[in-house]
Structure 1
């Protein structure tokens, strides 16, 4: 196990006070270019819906834009929420992305809807999509559809019908299963697929879940050995004070989310500092802060190495959640850029 794990990025495309979605997307496109220059291994976009503070709703669109702006880094989804989409559509989108950026596309699949029940119903209103109960079969369908030979369907009259994702890529994208419980870990082990535990969202039980995945792993042709890494929220700055201040807006947003309070655009650092949370929110911030990577460069890099060694992984995917001061340009996210630069050394 290397003491200097590979670094990757998960981007939710945060939207802050006074910022448009266009400006948030522009800042993320600049961030993925910088990650490419800094040597990060991969850069994934999340899927969330109807959240004013998050502009990441269409991973395939953002992946295409990011792939066109980069030359080396792997680009992918963290993840596509499969219950919202027909498997053939997902397979064709990612086969097309792989054809556009050969050898650089990851397809991370999740089982959660990525939104509230009303928006989930809207996403599924236009026709049949992948329900949660059929998730294992739809994962199998997608992996088969992206293979050169495609999938074979047996029709009701007994005829066999061949289906392939088009345009066909030279090689299929790498499929990853994502989750924050043991369900996806067990399924990934059964199917012989790489797996990522969403440690940035819920760190509870990570050791047990990774052990379930590794101990139950069934080798596949594409992945003879289990393959996993961990995610972590990160804010790195030249001083501890700046790092703590830049972490506060996202810590407060997560506390509001978990206590059922209304969510707006992300606060600036000044807004977060000026408005104390109630006792419950304050306790939640303190609890979450202990699991996040917040601090100066040397200590942050050392903590990344400790995390990788503790969980026996050679890669750590950081979620750069650094907030922004009021005077910083709306088209930029200096705190997130700084986090990636300082972690990369």
Structure 2
């Protein structure tokens, strides 16, 4: 619209044309007045001049309009070319993007998928092997202990795995401990109770920080008639410091209430399977500082879940803080580490 408006004659051209017309009319009127031209002829010449002026003005307007239209056409062509080039560039980018996607899919098919398949197969095989080994350990435990109860509490998951339980039973029969302390309670308490009964003596004290779970464990022990062998003690978590109450230095961390272990002495076997990992960083560390002074000289301490990063760090800390200890790994689903005093 702005281009079309600019095609209208400008005011200065109209003024100039009007001035020329007035001068022409004045000249014709003067000629007619002096008798050199009749009034009819003057009027005819004026009309003829007006027509000629109009024709000339139209011609001029036509030329200007043609130029404007040509310029507008060139602008439209330029813009169309730019749009075409932009569309072409976008299409080229789209084609490149699609090519990159195709190449990535080819790479995934050629490399990633086979690797993922191999990892999945490895994980499945490992899980299958673990399942088989745990089933074997479970069968060996039942056959060896010959519990009178037709149904035994489940192992694995939150509870100790059968392979760790088998190691504990072997330790009971090899060392014949008079006192076993378990950090945590549950299914393992029952299995250990049967192992102590079969070994001919000894008792188990299981520490449990959850009052509700402690009662459930007691009921489980009663269901198997092991009250004379297994004692589940409710020991709520309380602040513990390496140097004892009021010590400065390291921040205190939660562990079982020390009142629950004050009467324990001559411990021959410690099974460390609590408190839960979420309780604190290296939540099970206090077990050795607290229980080692109450252990027999030939005591064995078994740490479950030893494959976890926190337990690995804690194991190194134990060996650093208690140089009289030695440790070795045992094959187990969740990792297990056995600590004992070095031979003199």
Q: How high is the TM-score relative to the length of structure 1?
A: 0.30
Higher normalized helix content (fraction of residues): 2
| Larger relative contact order (Cα-Cα within 8 Å, sequence gap ≥ 6) | 1
Q: How high is the TM-score relative to the length of structure 2?
A: 0.30
Structure 1 or 2, whichever has the larger Rg, is: 2
